[in-house]
Homo-oligomer: A and B are copies of this chain.
Amino acid sequence: MVISMKLHSSREEIEQVCKRIEHFGYKVHSIEGEERVVIGVVGRGDVTNCLESVEAMPQVESAVRISAPYKFVSREFRRAKTQIRLNGAEIGGDEFVVMAGPCSVESEEQIMNAAEAVARAGAKMLRGGAFKPRTSPYDFQGLEEEGLKLLAKARSATGLGIVTEVMSDSDVDLVAEYADVLQVGARNMQNFALLKALGPCQRPILLKRGLSSTVKELLMSAEYIVAHGNPNVILCERGIRTYETATRNTCDLTAVAVLDELTHLPVMVDPSHATGKRSLVPALSRAAVAIGCDGLIVEVHPCPEQAMSDGAQSLNPKQFTAMMKELEPYLRLWKDSRVTEAAAAV
């Protein structure tokens, strides 16, 4: 922490601030500049409270945190990447994992067709929403448990793993019964009751970045899950909200590289929500592979024009198969670089 005093603070005022900081268990080093006094704070203590308390003092100009607010998820805590076993593959290692499927589970026929198509094209996991977060109460809200059962059926038929969204702490047990990976949607990234309830859950979690969440906040939400007992968190960049309206969201693809520096957790990209437009999905997917993410989650629908949600951003099976084929040479380069890194790390 570094505290900057207001100009012309008196000796007493500075001492008052130092005393309060020490009260939280820290040591202070006050530095007298020509214009103002800056107080360096070191040691271990209750950072957030200390920061807020000091910021509230009238003679304090600003109080800035230096150390990262997360711990278990940071690269400094754990150098080696976390690898999470997903249906036989290890995400975070040298296998690139593709999850694909429709936005919503709509019917047995639809999910079966989708599952077979994405399995054939090389996906490892089937996505599909049974509980749907919809902006309007009048939109299709999902088939709920019935949808979960259909997903399980599709797993039996195809061997794909299942990833599906959970929207409330009260549904965690139910969803975990059917799904292999539980997804936390962008709108629930800071649903802290839900995050806490995922701690005791035995399934890996796919945590999507909130529409207006910083990379640090995404890591803090992951830290919630890990601190409550579940170390298997996969992060997902799915676009953030900006003033640009040509795409549904603005994909912060650089965040993949930023996260690779800050955390050991695997990072996926969702090119479908990031763009909102089918024609842009293959190009963004190539870029996502090239920047080094660990996997993709892509919306695929047997017939996008008849989709009950997100039709405009869904690929049909033929388009998805073509995209997977087009990604192949990029995935070979991706694999080479993973193997090189792994060798260098030894």
Contact = CB atoms under 8 A, between A and B. Distances in A.
Contacts of A159: none
A91 interface: no
Interface stretch (A111-119, A122-130, A303-311): A303-311
A53 to B, nearest CB: 5
Interface in A90-139: 131, 133-139
Given A241-B212, A244-B240, A280-B254, A190 B138 contact: no
Interface in A1-50: 2, 4, 7, 20, 29, 31-36, 38, 40, 42-44, 47-49
A133 B246 contact: no
Given A34-B42, A34-B43, A250 B247 contact: no
Interface stretch (A80-88, A148-156, A164-172, A200-208): A164-172
Nearest to A6: B76
Given A48-B139, A253-B253, A280-B257, A55 B312 contact: yes
A170 B85 CA distance: 32
B32 A42 contact: yes
B246 A255 contact: yes
* Chain A interface category by residue count: 35 or more
A158 interface: no
B307 A53 contact: yes
A223 interface: yes
Given A215-B246, A291-B287, A278 B64 contact: no
A188 B35 CA distance: 33
Given A134-B192, A135-B220, A167-B192, A53 B283 contact: no
A60 B301 CA distance: 18
The CB with the most chain B CB atoms within 10 A, among A55, A223, A290, A329, is that of A290
Contact of A253 (B55, B62, B287): B287
Contacts of A244: 214-215, 240, 252, 255
A252 B66 CA distance: 28
A190 B193 contact: no
A180 to B, nearest CB: 22
A338 interface: no
Contacts of A305: 20, 53-54, 56-57
Given A52-B310, A56-B311, A62-B66, 10 more contacts: A20-B305, A36-B67, A40-B40, A49-B139, A135-B190, A169-B170, A215-B246, A241-B243, A247-B258, A253-B287
